[in-house]
Amino acid sequence: MSDRETVLARIRQALADRPEVDVPPVPEVWPKTNPEKPAMLARWAEELAEVAGEFHRCGSVDDARAKLAELTRELECARLGAVDQPLVRELVDGFSAAEVCWVDDATDKTTIGQLKASLVGSDLLLADTGSCLVECRTAPERMMCYLPPVCVVVAQADALREHMPAAWGEVVARVADPELRGELVIITGPSRTADIEKILILGVHGPKRLVVLVID
């Protein structure tokens, strides 16, 4: 057993022996006003546009699939990188096997970095910041959010939440589930940075373009 495996085994044992504790109540950072779904979607779209993200509202999965096909043609993307998630699977139904690169534990960063675009699913959208929460179960899935120059996120409109406190109960339930692995990545617009002269540059530390398809 390597030193790394020894350390991990000790951590797992310590966690297994940890006594049950009561989860403390979630403090109310921002009050919940429970806005209507159209109002949340409008706020989310406005906030996303403020950080140079692109939003396409789709009436159905078929509409979203057509928009995705249109986008891949525009990008001249012969092969789309995809994370194996139910909504992503549904969206690329009809694409040929040669047009989709399914990313799994064995996919290396060089392969992901050569993709023109990635497709990931989001289970939660935060209206107050225009953010997408993406569950990344493995390191390759996490790299799909960063390495390709274009990141396409697909979500259902039901994924909209007012803000993080409104979504916190769902987030806590996921991270507390011992059967789940990985982490949640918060995506708010394409990658951006600015130098001392306050010149904004997109795409330095991640995708230069973020496209979100929201399905009604």
Give the tens place of pLDDT for each residue, 24-68.
666 677 888 889 999 999 999 999 999 999 999 999 999 999 999
Is residue 203 domain-resident? yes
* CATH code of the domain covering residue 149: 3.40.50.10420
Is residue 45 domain-resident? no
Tell me the three state secondary structure of residue 194. Answer: strand
- Residue 179 has a pLDDT of 81
Domain that holds residue 189: 52-215
Count of domains observed in the chain: 1
Query: In sequence order, what are the residues at sequence separation of 6 or more whose Cβ sits closer than 8 angstroms to the Cβ of residue 2?
Result: none
Is residue 207 domain-resident? yes
Beta-carbon neighbour count of residue 54 at 10 Å? 16
Contact (Cβ atoms closer than 8 angstroms) between residue 189 and residue 52: yes
In DSSP terms, which residues pair with 200 in a beta bridge?
194
- Share in percent of the chain as helix, strand, coil (round to 5): 35, 25, 40
Is residue 35 domain-resident? no
Is residue 121 domain-resident? yes
- Residue 151 has a pLDDT of 96
Nearest alpha-carbon partner for 146 in 194, 183, 100, 185: 185
- Residue 27 has a pLDDT of 67
Nearest alpha-carbon partner for 8 in 106, 16, 104: 16
Is residue 157 domain-resident? yes
Instruction: Read off the pTM.
Output: 0.84
Torsion from C-alpha of 28, 31, 34, 39, nearest 10 degrees? -130
Is residue 37 domain-resident? no
Is residue 107 domain-resident? yes
Enumerate residue ranges in the chain where pLDDT < 70: 18-21, 23-27
